[in-house]
Amino acid sequence: MTQRSANVIGLGLIGGSIAVGLRQRGWRVHGEDARDGTEQRAIEQGVVDRAGLDPDADITFVAVPVLSVVEQVERALTTTTGVVTDVGSVKTTVSEQIADPRFVGSHPMAGSELDGLDGADAEMFNGAVWVVTPTPVTDDVTLARVTGVLRELGAEVVALSPHHHDQVVAVVSHVPHLAAATLMRLAVDRAEEHAPLLRLAAGGFRDMTRIASGRPDIWLDICAENRTAIVAALDELIEGLASMRDTVASDDRDTLLRTLAGAREARTNLPGRVVHPEELVEVRIRIPDRAGAAAEVFTLAADLGVNIANFEVVHLAEGNRGVAVVLIDAASSDVFRGGLIARGFKPSITALS
């Protein structure tokens, strides 16, 4: 078996972690970075094998700032023959602008307080959720191949439409960041009046404002790209806080208790790192001959809360039709089967002993 080959364009924190993660799993990795000296440093640190792009690489990761993603994905599709994914935090624009069956967008929900290549970590994605955002244009084989590589890096892959992804991250990532920054500014403004204020900022405040220490330039691009969803989520947060304010002002203890107890319960039940299920079943689904059918199966799983442990598309000899072979937690098989049947698929389920 020949050694598998990957390209990584952009060797920052995420790109560097992908590169070193793949190398440590036996891949040959080419890497590119526009910044002076970064490629050389990546080679010296064992993050990549060599600089530049391998035109025959199985997969190319584009890990550049959000506003450069489209340009670099286009270049990767032109100069290489394998599948291509990007790892940007916003997915609608790139998915609308790149209509190529060899491309699928993605976004790893992982990071670190470290910045750049020096924070690169081969295990950064181990146990993390990695979203893929297939569209009707995405080829089933592209989706299956990219997913397989992400899973090899240890990630749990969840499929969402680009638009849904952007709405969700506005709530769980972008708006929390803007709220943390706003809270931090409020504290600083008040500290001008009360000098000891910041010395009183204990654990809760520190936890809450930690994300405000992220790089501002990255957030500018994210806000520009995901403006609509961010503004909508900010409006909801403002409305929620205004309602909280009225509850406190009117000393409405019942409502306040209900709100705080509900939030506490939700926080306590927040899913942790991925726990791999003990018992798996194999679901085989004949993929009808229409674009995006495999992506639909994958996205359906996410909507139903079904963890996919493995996802492959097997192409049959005759013609272009395929079979999706999906491994899921046995406990989810009834709900997944029901959802598939409701959408016109004909799943067959086999227990794996």
What is the CB neighbour count within 10 angstroms for residue 334? 10
Q: Judged by CB, which is closer to a copy of itself: 136, or 305?
A: 305
Q: Judged by CB, which is closer to a copy of itself: 137, or 205?
A: 205
In three-state form (DSSP H/G/I as H, E/B as E, the rest C), the secondary structure along the chain is CCCCEEEEECCCHHHHHHHHHHHHCCCEEEEECCCCCHHHHHHHCCCCCEECCCCCCCEEEECCCHHHHHHHHHHHHHHCCCEEEECCCCCHHHHHHCCCCCECEEEECCCCCCCCHHHCCCCCCCCCEEEEECCCCCCHHHHHHHHHHHHHCCCEEEECCHHHHHHHHHHHHHHHHHHHHHHHHHHHHHHHHCHHHHHHCCHHHHHHHHHHHCCHHHHHHHHHHCHHHHHHHHHHHHHHHHHHHHHHHCCCHHHHHHHHHHHHHHHHCCCCCCCCCCCEEEEEEEECCCCCHHHHHHHHHHHCCCCEEEEEEEECCCCCCEEEEEEEEHHHHHHHHHHHHHCCCCEEEEECC
**Would you put residue 239 in left (φ > 0), alpha (ψ -120 to 50) or beta?**
alpha
Residue from 1, 2, 192, 195 touching a copy of itself (CB under 8 A): that is 195
Residue from 104, 143, 169, 287 touching a copy of itself (CB under 8 A): that is 169
Would you say 22 and 154 are in contact if contact means Cβ atoms under 8 Å apart? Answer: no
Least distance from a copy of itself to the Cβ atom of residue 51, Å: 31
Site string for a copy of itself, 203-242 (x = CB under 8 A): xxxxxxxxxxxxxxx-xx--xx--x--xx-xxxxxx-xxx
Q: Judged by CB, which is closer to a copy of itself: 99, or 331?
A: 331
Least distance from a copy of itself to the Cβ atom of residue 121, Å: 13
Q: Judged by CB, which is closer to a copy of itself: 76, or 230?
A: 230
Stretch that binds a copy of itself, among 10-18, 36-44, 107-115, 280-288 (CB under 8 A): 107-115
Least distance from a copy of itself to the Cβ atom of residue 151, Å: 15
Length of the chain counted residue by residue? 353
Least distance from a copy of itself to the Cβ atom of residue 39, Å: 28
44 binds a copy of itself (CB under 8 A): no
- By CB under 8 A, the count of residues binding a copy of itself is 94
328 binds a copy of itself (CB under 8 A): no
Least distance from a copy of itself to the Cβ atom of residue 288, Å: 24
Least distance from a copy of itself to the Cβ atom of residue 302, Å: 4
Least distance from a copy of itself to the Cβ atom of residue 296, Å: 15
Residue from 11, 29, 160, 283 touching a copy of itself (CB under 8 A): that is 160
Which parts of 57-86 interact with a copy of itself (CB under 8 A)? none
Residue reference for tokens 């080829």: 139
Residue from 183, 291, 325, 327 touching a copy of itself (CB under 8 A): that is 183
Residue from 25, 194, 276, 315 touching a copy of itself (CB under 8 A): that is 194
C-alpha of 120 from chain center: 17
Least distance from a copy of itself to the Cβ atom of residue 353, Å: 28
173 binds a copy of itself (CB under 8 A): yes
180 binds a copy of itself (CB under 8 A): yes
Tokens of 90: 């916003």
331 binds a copy of itself (CB under 8 A): no
Least distance from a copy of itself to the Cβ atom of residue 340, Å: 16
Which parts of 268-327 interact with a copy of itself (CB under 8 A)? 268, 270-271, 302-305
